[in-house]
Amino acid sequence: MDLKKLLVVLCALVGLACGAGSSAAREQPAPAQPAPAQRPQPARDAQNSVELGETVVLKTGDTTEVASKDVSIRFARLVSDSRCAAGMVCVWEGEAVVELTLAEPGRGERTTAALASTGRGGRQSVEFAACRVDLVAVSSGGDQVTLRVSKA
């Protein structure tokens, strides 16, 4: 084999090797995930309210009221999701960014906040009207979030 053919074969092999190890991921069984230390508590009543210090699970478009405050929190939408799909092994874990709408109807105040699942691409919490809202988790489909609401 002449040098030119050998070089072409080596380049092809290097290209294949680089493509197989890229962030596009390979099919492999998903590693077992440890159980969360604190299980999210769904809202207690039909009005979907939450007390300070509790967690709440919201689906896209759902709103919860903070029971001891004049504050509502709405999960508006999933802004972006670059997380690794279930059953895949990825070079980078990725990140989900969600948009929340917080309102204080009694004062006519309203704000929108983008929260990131890892905090690398943005903040993981927002403070509004003496409340702090932390993004705890985003479902694998991105249609559900778990939030912890506490005093700011």
pTM of the model: 0.68
Averaged over 11-25, what is the pLDDT?
43
pLDDT at 16 over 60: no
Q: 88-143, pLDDT tens digit by residue? A: 888 888 999 999 999 998 899 999 999 999 978 789 999 999 999 999 999 999 99
pLDDT for the residue numbered 86: 81
Tokens representing residue 32 in the block? 């077992």
DSSP-derived letter for residue 22 is: S
Cβ(127)–Cβ(69) below 8 Å: no
pLDDT for the residue numbered 87: 85
Closest CA to 133 of 146, 109, 117, 149: 149
pLDDT at 7 over 90: no
pLDDT for the residue numbered 9: 59
- Half-sphere exposure of residue 150, counting CA atoms within 13 Å on the CB side? 8
28: CB partners within 8 A, 6+ apart = 87, 88, 89
Identify which has the larger pLDDT, 76 or 19: 76
Q: 52-103, pLDDT tens digit by residue? A: 999 999 999 999 999 889 999 999 999 999 998 888 888 888 999 999 999 9
Cβ(99)–Cβ(133) below 8 Å: no
Is 81 in a helix, a strand, or coil? Answer: strand
11: CB partners within 8 A, 6+ apart = none
